[in-house]
Structure 1
């Protein structure tokens, strides 16, 4: 049997054991969310030995060279010495600069200890009191001095319960900052751009929308936001203000029980349209299905799915 070591502790585990499961079974605190390699909350550094990695492509070459692996995607096949990600030593300290509630959506603005380079649409892993969750950035690099995140607190979870208690001046750590599937490409400048969001899936699209406008997007832009109730359209005022300033921007607020009718009414203005969709898996699937039926080429749809977190303490 291979031996697994963390700090001064070491114990035998069955060959081919999932690394995350082996660590949790031994009482080692490793946060996780999706178990699919998407959230990057379960980062560990391999100090000696190598696991079998099912998804080596999800981390950068530089990260892998430093020994970082996603525990949920690794199997123990030989003696292995690992160190879980330490937000105090491996993360970037940040301070809460602003908290604001929009119904059940909490907008948190952070000031990191040092400037971070990022693009609209990227994700960051937030660490709060030992719990880590990935969130999309809603801020615009080069314009907003803070990093902005939108946290859906409708359902109780380990992270959202802690986030509800945040106050200005509180400390929070930033883990890995990485690219998501959503972005703005200057080559889209003259094409129709559709942005479809469900719930806080609006967060990355808010940053991307402003990036498109900053870069002088010339084609029409259509943003559709689905929410469970009127208060769920938490950026309605800001979006409508942008629409008043930019005649090319059309904003639609849709309630969840009106979604099917709204989707049925979608008509492509051009097969050159580029669409970005973000939100819960089922809603993003509905967006995609309707867009393909309407004639959107599959390679012109970019999606980011917010997978519900497993409720871990």
Structure 2
């Protein structure tokens, strides 16, 4: 059986064990969200040995050369020593500059980073509380337009991170991990094409940033925004943009009407680009319907939000 070492901990694991599960099973609390290699929350650095990596392309060459790996995508096949991400050593500091409620359960958190951050709309960051709880959240802000980093946090259920986030105050400090890609983005080459932004719950957050980025870059094709939710927390802002931009169509669908709305989706142009974000069930439902409606698979970009504790 391979030996796994992390800091002062060393123990035997079954050959082929998932590295993330092995670390968390030992009580080391490595954060994660998607388990698909997208959110990059579960970064660890291999200092001795090499795991079997299912997605080596998920990290750039520079990160891999330094030993960074995504624990969720790795299996322990030989003796392995890893170093966990340390938010104080490896992260950066940010100060709370905005804290308000967009609805009874959706918190808008704005942060001022200690150092300027170059990012694109739709990317995400790992946020760490002072007590060491970490969760990945997508950016809802727009680079070059907003002076802050904005996150929309679903606080409908209790959780280790959201229970802290609810009571943050202006001036409080959080740590941030490295900026991560994800698949959601806006490509200027799409300017003439129909753009669909389909969201469930706070999956609207990154799409809100991408929508504003598309409009900022002068998108010429029609834009369709569909938000499935019990609380349409950006309704006024979306309707305001629709009033200003003739090509923008906004549909606010109650959660109970999701299946009815899905059945009505028709893809009029095979040039359509669809960006989908939300819970696993909603993303799967949107994706299946779009494929049935004739959307080419390469024109669907989806990001899944797992429930965060």
TM-score, length-normalised on structure 2? 0.92
Q: In structure 2, how many angstroms separate the alpha carbons of the residues matched to 1:308 and 1:300?
A: 26
Which shifted more, 57-66 or 286-295? Answer: 286-295
The aligned counterpart of 1:114 is: 115
Q: Secondary structure at the match of 1:176?
A: coil
Cα 1:9–1:266 change in 2 (3 A) is closer
Gaps of 5+ in 1: none
Q: In structure 1, how many angstroms separate the alpha carbons of the residues matched to 2:261 and 2:273?
A: 19
The aligned counterpart of 1:41 is: 41
Cα 1:24–1:282 change in 2 (3 A) is closer
**What is the Cα deviation at residue 162 of structure 1?**
1.8
Which shifted more, 8-17 or 118-127? Answer: 8-17
Q: Alignment RMSD, CA only?
A: 2.0
Cα 1:33–1:275 change in 2 (3 A) is closer
The aligned counterpart of 1:52 is: 52
Query: Contact 2:38/2:183 (CA < 8 Å) preserved in 1?
Result: no
Q: In structure 1, how many angstroms separate the alpha carbons of the residues matched to 2:61 and 2:36?
A: 20
Cα 1:220–1:165 change in 2 (3 A) is same
**What is the Cα deviation at residue 165 of structure 1?**
1.9
Q: In structure 1, how many angstroms separate the alpha carbons of the residues matched to 2:15 and 2:266?
A: 54
Q: In structure 2, how many angstroms separate the alpha carbons of the residues matched to 1:208 and 1:296?
A: 20
| Deviation string, structure 1 residues 129-163 (Cα, Å, up to 9, x no partner) | 31221111110001101111111111222222221
- Is residue 299 of structure 2 the alignment partner of residue 297 of structure 1? no
Q: In structure 2, how many angstroms separate the alpha carbons of the residues matched to 1:270 and 1:15?
A: 49
Cα 1:262–1:36 change in 2 (3 A) is closer
Gaps of 5+ in 2: none
Which shifted more, 208-217 or 287-296? Answer: 287-296
Count of aligned pairs between the two proteins: 307
- Is residue 76 of structure 2 the alignment partner of residue 73 of structure 1? no
After superposition, where does 1:160-179 map in structure 2 within 5 Å? 160-179=162-181
| Deviation string, structure 1 residues 89-114 (Cα, Å, up to 9, x no partner) | 10111111101112201111111110
The aligned counterpart of 2:93 is: 93
After superposition, where does 1:266-305 map in structure 2 within 5 Å? 266-305=265-304
- Is residue 106 of structure 2 the alignment partner of residue 105 of structure 1? yes
TM-score, length-normalised on structure 1? 0.91
The aligned counterpart of 1:127 is: 128
The aligned counterpart of 1:181 is: 183
